[in-house]
Amino acid sequence: MTGFPQLRWRRLRRTEALRALVRENRVEIGNLIYPLFIVEGSGIKQAIASMPGIFHFSIDQLPREVEEIAELGIPGVLLFGIPEEKDEVASSAYHPQGVIQQAIGAIKQSVPQLLVVTDVCLCEYTSHGHCGIIVNGDVDNDQTLPLLARTALSHAEAGADIVAPSDMMDGRVKAIRGALDEEGLQHIPILSYAAKYASAFYGPFREAAESTPQFGDRRSYQMDPPNLREALREVEQDIAEGADIIMVKPALAYLDVIRQVRDRFNYPLAAYNVSGEYAMVKAAVQQGWLDEKAVVLEILTAIKRAGADIIITYHAKEVARWLRQAP
C-alpha cells in the first residue's frame, strides 16, 4: 500500500477529536512569560499607544496586576524599568532602591510563587539610551561589564528568580555568573538573550521603555539580521560562559534560528515574541482584518513548532484566558 486511494491524509483530519489526538505541538500557559513595564510614581496605569492592552504600571499598582497574572496560570513575568533619573553610567539600574529593585519586592510580597525574571540592560537607564556606557563616542564593551554584573546582582539581591541580560556585550554572561557566585547567589539562573538581532521590530518597545538611542543605533552590538551561523556561535559562547536558558529574539522572522538552535543545543530555549510582532497583530485586528484569537494561537504554536520551550509574549494574558475556556 503505497499511496492513494488506500492512503488518505484526510482520515485523521475529519473531526476535532481526531485532530487533537495527533496534534504535535500545543501552546501551554505554563511556558509563557508576560513582560511588564514599571515606572516610578504612584497611581499610574497608563496605556502604551503602540501596544494596545499593555500599560505602564507604578509599583503600587503591581499587586493587583500580578495577582491577576498568577490567577490566569501564567508562571512568570519579565520586568522592564523606566526610571525618572537617567545618567551617563546608568546609576539607577543598580541602585538598591531602583524602580526594578522595589518592584521585585512588591511582587514577591503579593505573589511569592510568581517567577520574577528581570531584563538586565542599561538602555532604559542611560541618558544616551545605549545598552552600555560611552567611551570616546563608542559603546565600550569591557567597561560596561561590571555595571551589568552589578545590575544583575542587585536584582538577585532584591529577590529576582532569574536574571536575563539583553545588552549584547561580549562576556556579560561570564561577568554576571562570576558576580552572582561570589555573593552566594549560585542558585540564580541566567536566561541569556544569546541571539538578539538588531531588529526594527523593537520599535514599540523603545517608545514604551523610553530607550531609543539618542545617537546612532544598536548595530555595533546587536546581531546583523541576515546571519544564522553567527547566532549559533553566540549561543555556544553564552552556554560556555554559564547561561542556563538561551533566547532567540525576535521570534517570527527568526523561526529558522530557533529551529537550528533547538537542533544543536540541549538547553532550554526561549523565544521573544517582541513588541513589533504584537503591534502588527493588534493593528490588523483593530481594523477588523484578522481574527485575533486564531492568529495569535497560530503564531505562538508556530514558535513552539520551531522549537521554543518558553515564549515571552505580550499576548500571554489573552492566551491564558482563551486556553482556559472549554474548546
Residues within the interface to ligand PBG (CB under 6 A): 119, 121, 123, 131, 166, 202, 205-206, 211, 218, 274-275
CB of 243 to ligand PBG, least distance (A): 16
Nine cell digits for residue 310: 518558553
* Per-residue exposure over 4-20, b if at least 16 CB sit within 10 Å of its own CB, e if not: eeeeeeeeeeeeeeeee
How far apart are the C-alpha atoms of 121 and 94, rounded to whole Å? 10
Asked if 244 contacts 117 with a C-beta cutoff of 8 angstroms, the reply is no
CB of 10 to ligand PBG, least distance (A): 40
CB of 186 to ligand PBG, least distance (A): 25
Reduce the DSSP state of residue 196 to 3 states and report it.
strand
How far apart are the C-alpha atoms of 54 and 208, rounded to whole Å? 9
Nine cell digits for residue 77: 513575568
Task: Tell me whether residue 46 or residue 109 sits nearer to ligand PBG (CB atom).
Answer: 46
Task: Tell me whether residue 50 or residue 182 sits nearer to ligand PBG (CB atom).
Answer: 50
How far apart are the C-alpha atoms of 38 and 66, rounded to whole Å? 12
CB of 119 to ligand PBG, least distance (A): 5
Work out whether strand 32-39 and strand 76-82 pair parallel, antiparallel, or are unpaired: parallel
Task: Tell me whether residue 36 or residue 320 sits nearer to ligand PBG (CB atom).
Answer: 36
Task: Tell me whether residue 102 or residue 313 sits nearer to ligand PBG (CB atom).
Answer: 313
Reduce the DSSP state of residue 237 to 3 states and report it.
helix
CB of 142 to ligand PBG, least distance (A): 19
Nine cell digits for residue 155: 536584582
Asked if 120 contacts 166 with a C-beta cutoff of 8 angstroms, the reply is yes
One-letter amino acid for residue 50 of the chain: S
One-letter amino acid for residue 261 of the chain: V
Task: Tell me whether residue 260 or residue 273 sits nearer to ligand PBG (CB atom).
Answer: 273
CB of 78 to ligand PBG, least distance (A): 9
Asked if 131 contacts 221 with a C-beta cutoff of 8 angstroms, the reply is yes
* Helical ranges in 159-288 per DSSP H: 172-182, 203-209, 229-241, 255-264, 275-286
Task: Tell me whether residue 34 or residue 202 sits nearer to ligand PBG (CB atom).
Answer: 202
CA nearest 235: which of 198, 260, 272? 260
Task: Tell me whether residue 204 or residue 307 sits nearer to ligand PBG (CB atom).
Answer: 204
Asked if 167 contacts 120 with a C-beta cutoff of 8 angstroms, the reply is yes
The residue whose Cβ lies closest to ligand PBG is: 205
Q: Residue 41: CB partners within 8 Å, gap ≥ 6?
A: 58, 84
CB of 202 to ligand PBG, least distance (A): 4
Query: Known catalytic residues?
Result: 196, 249
